[in-house]
Amino acid sequence: MTAENRSRNRALLNFILLPLLFLTVALLGGLRISAENHSFIFVAPPLVTLVLAVLLMLLFIRGRLFDLKHWVGRDLPPLTNISHGLLLLTLFFASAQAFNSVLPEQGLLYWLFSFFFLWTLWNNQFSSFDARRLLRSLAVLFGTAFVLKHMLLASLYDRDGGWIKKLASALVQGVSLGTFDAPAFAPATGYISFFTLSFYVAGLLLLIFAADYDLDEARNQVALQTEHSGLSNQQIARDSLGD
């Protein structure tokens, strides 16, 4: 009964909960609230976010956040392959929209943020880490970008003029960097981005727990096979001595 419950919980996680979480992130990542009339604005993910999502998926594979051999293969049932394929697809678009949620919409800061993400993910391709270390790195990366965009830059983009905008205007007086022409959004946009990133990190955390469970299960199967092989060898030795 315990093994059956584990199988059901695993199916519920992989086929229902995780796809819903990542699909929610994919839908909310491009949502903005207009500062003028509080209407919904949907921002399509820029091309750079798709590149970032590809780099991040490669890191997930290297960090063993999921094992493609056990997720998609010819030995698995067709429905399992389709379900895992859809889960990977939602994870990819959720990753792209997570970056979209914390990237400035335009101006110099958009390119600075994009370069920062690209440089970080590209360097991580050549470093050694595991899934937990990768999750901590992503949490810090998205957390830093969230604070910069929705807390510090929100004051900079405020048309009424916050203290950060006044200070920046004084520092770059007479210089146009394309920074202050960025669109301003309602404060609710920051809350949407916060929950978007929270759902995304929660989904990655659940993936890590599932990967650890698969690893423990594989180790148990190897131990049982080794024990069974040892018992079989002992039985053969006894039979040969009896003869």
List Cβ<8 Å contacts ≥24 apart for 200-203. Answer: 200/21, 200/22, 200/25, 200/94, 200/95, 200/98, 200/142, 201/135, 201/138, 201/139, 201/142, 202/21, 203/18, 203/21, 203/22, 203/25, 203/91, 203/94
Domain boundaries, the chain: 2-235
In this predicted model, what pLDDT tens digit does every residue of 64-87 receive, in sequence order?
A: 787 777 778 777 788 878 888 899
Q: Which residue has the higher pLDDT, 174 or 64?
A: 64
Mean pLDDT across the stretch 232-237?
A: 52
Mean pLDDT across the stretch 4-23?
A: 82
- Rounded to two decimals, the pTM is 0.78
